[in-house]
Amino acid sequence: MKYTTLFVPLAAIAGFVAAANDYPSDSNGVHGKNSTSSPFDTLPTPSGAPTPSATPSTPVPGPANRRMRRIPYQEGREFECGNLRIQAEDNAYSGFIAGMRDRDGRYIVTKDQSKAAQVKLVDSELLLEPRDQSMGYARIGATFGLVFQQPQPGDNNMEGNSFNYAYVSGTDRTPVGSPATIGRSSFNDATSSRQRIESSIFRFGENKEVLAQWINTNRAAKQVSFAINPDFQLVLSANPGAYVAKFGGKAARVFCTPAPPSRL
């Protein structure tokens, strides 16, 4: 895959729609297009996307490098969550993971809690409440991204020194501990893609922070964290700092928060 370096004048970034026009895209032109309106202020876009040789060889500081205590996996246990509140790592803003997805099947961020997805954690899956399942999927999972570093870590793999990422999307179920597998997802449906998916990857940390891991093709589990791109779509990456350095946006954290009475 060939990478080019893009230089985006800061004055040209008037909003996240303008940012989307300058957003580095994959060979299929999917990553970053078909954005959905959001009331947020503009997220930063990098002045230039690094070529593979400029990609950090050591982890960029970010939430994936924090030490976090996890709640042990308990088969059959159900944990209430409510809405998923997303907080930028620099505390510049916060919002909620919306119950709706964009035209490419990716979950986006909204300021309006009444439009937020409502979920619970069951067997390491974020299961949607029935009112949010009307778009064809019962759970929030991840679909591996169309742009990835090669030869290492390569397709369907995450590493701490790589910008590789997965779209937060609706997916079919995958077993706990299973590497990414070909399956249905809202992203694959919308873009006629055959990207691999994972769903049983979530845990609660302290203060009901939502933590995640990605299972590589060699079955190694890699801790991944959230990031928001300039079009307010959500991704998971083992190095959100490297992802943001390449594509723009912000590293973020996600927490469970009670749903408002109107959504109960």
Dist CA 185 CA 190 (whole Å) = 9
Q: Which two tokens stand for residue 75?
A: 């088969």
pLDDT in tens, 92-127: 878 999 999 999 999 999 999 999 999 999 989 999
Quick check: 176 pLDDT over 80?
Answer: yes
Are the C-beta atoms of 84 and 185 separated by less than 8 Å? Answer: no
pLDDT of residue 78: 85
pLDDT of residue 31: 62
pLDDT of residue 193: 95
CA distances from 263 to 117, 133, 254 (A): 10, 14, 19
- CA dihedral for 201, 166, 50, 153, sign (positive or negative): positive
Are the C-beta atoms of 225 and 236 separated by less than 8 Å? Answer: yes
CA distances from 40 to 15, 58, 89, 170, 234 (A): 9, 32, 15, 23, 14
CA distances from 171 to 87, 129, 177 (A): 24, 15, 16
Are the C-beta atoms of 148 and 154 separated by less than 8 Å? Answer: yes
Per-residue pLDDT band at 133 (split at 50, 70, 90): confident
Q: Give the up-direction half-sphere exposure of residue 215: CA atoms within 13 A in the CB hemisphere.
A: 17
Q: State mean pLDDT over 23-49.
A: 41
Query: Cα angle at 173 between 169 and 178, to 5 degrees?
Result: 105
pLDDT of residue 58: 36
**Structure-model confidence comparison of residues 213 and 38, the more confident one:** 213
pLDDT of residue 231: 92
Query: Cα angle at 178 between 252 and 57, to 5 degrees?
Result: 50
Question: How far, rounded to the nearest angstrom, does the alpha carbon of residue 161 sit from its chain's CA centroid?
Answer: 17
Are the C-beta atoms of 128 and 137 separated by less than 8 Å? Answer: yes
Which among 143, 147, 151, 175 has a CA at the least distance from the CA of 242?
147
Q: What is the DSSP-derived secondary structure letter of residue 130? A: G
Q: Which distant-in-sequence residues (6+ apart) come within 8 Å of 151 by Cβ? A: none
pLDDT of residue 28: 41
pLDDT of residue 130: 86
Using DSSP's 3-state secondary structure scheme, residue 247 falls into helix
Dist CA 29 CA 25 (whole Å) = 5
Q: What is the DSSP string of 170-196?
A: EB----TTPPPEE--BHHHHHHT---E
Question: How far, rounded to the nearest angstrom, does the alpha carbon of residue 20 sit from its chain's CA centroid?
Answer: 17
Dist CA 227 CA 166 (whole Å) = 10
Percentage of the chain beyond pLDDT 70 is 70
pLDDT in tens, 231-257: 999 999 999 999 999 999 999 999 999
